[in-house]
Structure 1
Amino acid sequence: MRSLSKFLDNRRRMTKSRLFCLLVVLGSAFMVLLIIVYWDNVGTANFNHHTSFSKSLPTYLSAEHPSDISATEDNGLSDVDRFLDSFLNSATTKNVRPSTKGEILAQPGGVNSFEENVRGYDWSSKTKLEESVLDHELIQEERKFNLRSFCANSSFHFPTKDRDFDDIPNKELDHLIVDDRHGIIYCYVPKVACTNWKRVMIVLSESLLNKKGVPYQDPLEILREDVHNSSSHLTFNKFWRRYGKFSRHMMKIKLKKYTKFLFVRDPFVRLISAFRSKFELENEDFYKSFAIPILTRFSNWTNVPPSAGEAFSSGAKPSFSQFIQYLLDARTEEQKPFNEHWRQVYRLCHPCQIDYDFIGKLETLDEDAAQLLRQLNLDSLFQFPPSYRNRTASSWEEDWFSKIPLEWRQKLYKLYEPDFVLFGYPKPENILKV
């Protein structure tokens, strides 16, 4: 009996030992899996086309700025880092244990090498690129914070600020272009590189075919008249045709899921640009719709020429001063809403009703466009088309407004003040004072 009892005891001990070994193996496998998941989540910034940009700072911030590392870490190493370090050391012949996270990242056999082997990363061009990305991300956070702060500021008022998205008429949603293929919504603002951004949206959505019957792949191949043809784009105001009574509900779903962006510009410089392109160049449509009313109200011409050709031949063109008068005249808005080329951005894109993920500026167009395409993982498809050389410069502002009476300038600023404030443009004190 004693021998049988001893035998059973030995079997129990062996079973427990095997169970313990099995648990150790399973626990080790679980920890390895946990490490892989951990590095997959925080090792790099991956953006999903169909979701908004991450609101958190990039993961490499803590690695490059030790002061940002959590206080729970010991000598720069978190618990996971320490485990990973021992895991790596056990898999290599190296006996030197680095003392800081920075040394681990720099060491040939450290985390970088481990990730590079596992995930195929190329770490050779890390520093300058990531510093540039970080700078741009911080700028974006500042722009969005400024916009949200003033939208939430109860002491800052302007028309339509406090209305709900449901209260925006469909006809005022015609500037929101939707690309369902990549989950992107772009609100275009005329005179802010919108021609080229519309070209990009056509390529992404494959909404237009070239002469060979295939979607365009190069934005610059798309003709200007096709770019501005409303049939080339799916906009929010067309949703009622597709979704009927569910159109507003579908808009809200896409606004929540998709990445939303717009590009803006100094409001006064944008006005100068609009005047130059629509009144200093021969444009029959704009002459009949806007130049004739301006000349009739504010010039000494008794017989205004009926066509743009005759007007340009005889010198009957509105001046910039007359254009400003037209904008300030109460009859203008009463008879017809501002044309999109000089309508305020807050009326075009509804920034207090729509939470934009990216705010680009024409003043930093090249950098912002590159950053946006990179964050959307589209930079490998194409580059943003180069901007026009004949761009209206901000330095021209004082010259253009020098002949405008001070009172008009101040009234004009009040008209466009929401755009200045919401998008972080400083008040042009040099123009608004004597």
Structure 2
Amino acid sequence: MGTWRGLRVAFILGSLFMILLIIVYWDDVGGFNIYPLQEPKQVLLHPRTTAGPSHSMSRPQSSSSLPVPTTARSTTLLSEETGGAAEDRTEDEGKEKQEQRHKETREDEKERSRTTLDNREQEERKQRIVDVCSGKEAVEFPGRTRPFEQIPNRELDHLIVDDTHQIIYCYVPKVACTNWKRVMVVLSQSLISPSSGKPYTDPEAVPPDLVHNSSIHLTFAKFWRHYGSLSRHLMALKLQHYTKFLFVRDPFVRLISAFRNKFGRPNEDFYKQFGSVMLHRYANVSGILPETAAEAFAEGIKPTFQQFITYLLDPETEKESIFNEHWRQVYRLCHPCQVKYDFIGRLESLETDAAYLLKLLEVDHLLHFPSGARNRTAASWERDWFAQIPIAIRRELYKLYEPDFAMFGYPKPDSALHQ
């Protein structure tokens, strides 16, 4: 019995000792943890930040009683700072996007406003032509009421046709026509570049002297040769469906520009065909004129602006021709009473009108209107060019170009007519 009792006491003491060991080393051993292991939430700081341990082996405690280790505290602070910076960046990016949207909205509004103004201006320009052609402005001129079918073919040589883009352009010399012809060459692909062997794609690359070669442009005047008896019918169809445009300029300023360009410097063709006639008729030049323009200019023999105007007003001139295209009236070049133009541009607003027109034609993605110096006559033209011209001649000259003044909205130059 003594032995059995001793074993029982030893068992009990051993059990108590084991229980005591379990209690002392509970945290290290882990015991029988009734809580499942959980992956802790990680705060993403920056792609380069290294993540902490995957899980904790300690007993769960309430979050309020957990001490924050130094590394955890640093991580938390870094998270807060980085998070704040991210929020700042997000806010800045949001502001930038909002400002960009506002800017785009303002630009869209400006564009719509400009388009509205351009449309209104175009309607006014077109209505002005209708009023003059209908007789409301009491301005009479030859051909005002004749139908298009009665216009001779030779007078349709300024209407250039581009069938690819369905465009008709009536060119007016001394009104940016060189650059507009360049645009038409590119659109119609009617001229091959010798360097590439392909049609020109940049208007500025087209040599200016080549664009005035009439053979590279399809005009209404050539329709009879191409289409015979169907030519007038085809003209009517194209006039109905194609977009038609022209550019104009103050008639007197255009006239001065033409004189400066053709008679202000040696020009052999114009000297022989027109200059010599002016000098013989109005300059009282005795003897034989110099044979070439260069020789005449070297001797100081050249037409004056007054002689040029006298030539234009001379009834004999009208009998001889319908005027050279450089000083022929626009209503005789482009027939605005018979051709209902969709767009009337002005040299005085060339840049904005050209940009608007290319959008209207839906070719602004293909090319840009050529930039560069343009022929501009000084604003003092009245004083510089008409000071020596008698009032009676000035008024007679105005009557000659009055239809263009009235039709295209240019004010009557009272200071030049009443000095």
Indicate whether the TM-score tops 0.5: yes
Give, in whole Å, the separation in 2 of the partners of 1:170 and 1:390: 31
Q: Which residue matches 1:280?
A: 264
For the 8 Å contact 2:382–2:415, the answer to whether it is kept is no
Give, in whole Å, the separation in 1 of the partners of 2:363 and 2:382: 35
Give 1:150 deviation, angstroms. Answer: 1.3
1:172 corresponds to which of 143, 155, 165: 155
Q: Does 1:341 align with 2:326?
A: yes
Q: Does 1:236 align with 2:220?
A: yes
For the 8 Å contact 1:291–1:318, the answer to whether it is kept is yes
Give, in whole Å, the separation in 2 of the partners of 1:248 and 1:422: 26
Give, in whole Å, the separation in 1 of the partners of 2:198 and 2:360: 27
Q: Which residue matches 1:139?
A: 121
Q: Which residue matches 1:246?
A: 230
For the 8 Å contact 1:268–1:397, the answer to whether it is kept is no
Q: Does 1:289 align with 2:273?
A: yes
Give, in whole Å, the separation in 1 of the partners of 2:396 and 2:106: 55
Matches within 5 A, 1:290-309: 290-302=274-286, 303-309=288-294
RMSD over aligned Cα, in angstroms? 1.6
Give 1:367 deviation, angstroms. Answer: 0.8
Q: Which whole-Å deviations, capped at 9, do the CAs of 1:320-366 have from their partners, x for residues lacking one?
A: 01101100111111112200000000000000000000000001111
Q: Which residue matches 1:210?
A: 193
Give 1:394 deviation, angstroms. Answer: 3.7
Give, in whole Å, the separation in 2 of the partners of 1:123 and 1:255: 38
Q: Which whole-Å deviations, capped at 9, do the CAs of 1:13-60 have from their partners, x for residues lacking one?
A: xxxxxxxxxxxxxxxxxxxxxxxxxxxxxxxxxxxxxxxxxxxxxxxx
Amino acid at match of 1:138: R
Report how many residues are paired.
315
For the 8 Å contact 2:189–2:199, the answer to whether it is kept is yes
Q: TM-score, structure 2 length as denominator?
A: 0.73
Q: Does 1:393 align with 2:378?
A: yes
Q: TM-score, structure 1 length as denominator?
A: 0.71
Give, in whole Å, the separation in 2 of the partners of 1:292 and 1:153: 39
Cα 1:418–1:390 shift into 2, 3 Å: closer
Amino acid at match of 1:145: Q
Give 1:389 deviation, angstroms. Answer: 4.3
- Determine what percentage of the aligned residue pairs are the same residue: 59
Q: Does 1:194 align with 2:177?
A: yes
Give 1:124 deviation, angstroms. Answer: 7.2
Give, in whole Å, the separation in 2 of the partners of 1:198 and 1:394: 27
Give 1:149 deviation, angstroms. Answer: 1.3
Cα 1:141–1:225 shift into 2, 3 Å: same
The structure that has the greater radius of gyration is 2
3-state DSSP of counterpart to 2:398: helix
Matches within 5 A, 1:310-321: 310-321=295-306
Give, in whole Å, the separation in 2 of the partners of 1:389 and 1:289: 27
For the 8 Å contact 1:240–1:247, the answer to whether it is kept is yes
Amino acid at match of 2:225: R
Q: Which whole-Å deviations, capped at 9, do the CAs of 1:282-314 have from their partners, x for residues lacking one?
A: 111011011000000010311221211110110
Give, in whole Å, the separation in 1 of the partners of 2:240 and 2:357: 18
Q: Does 1:427 align with 2:399?
A: no
Give 1:242 deviation, angstroms. Answer: 1.4
Matches within 5 A, 1:31-430: 125-153=107-135, 155-211=138-194, 212-302=196-286, 303-430=288-415
Cα 1:177–1:291 shift into 2, 3 Å: same
- Which segments of structure 1 move beyond 6 Å, counting only runs of 4 or more? none
Structure 2's unaligned 5+ residue stretches are 1-96
For the 8 Å contact 1:193–1:387, the answer to whether it is kept is no
Give, in whole Å, the separation in 2 of the partners of 1:314 and 1:178: 45
Structure 1's unaligned 5+ residue stretches are 1-107, 114-121
Give 1:379 deviation, angstroms. Answer: 1.4
Give 1:387 deviation, angstroms. Answer: 4.6
Amino acid at match of 2:265: L
Amino acid at match of 1:228: H
Give, in whole Å, the separation in 1 of the partners of 2:274 and 2:248: 24
Amino acid at match of 1:204: L
Give, in whole Å, the separation in 1 of the partners of 2:382 and 2:154: 32
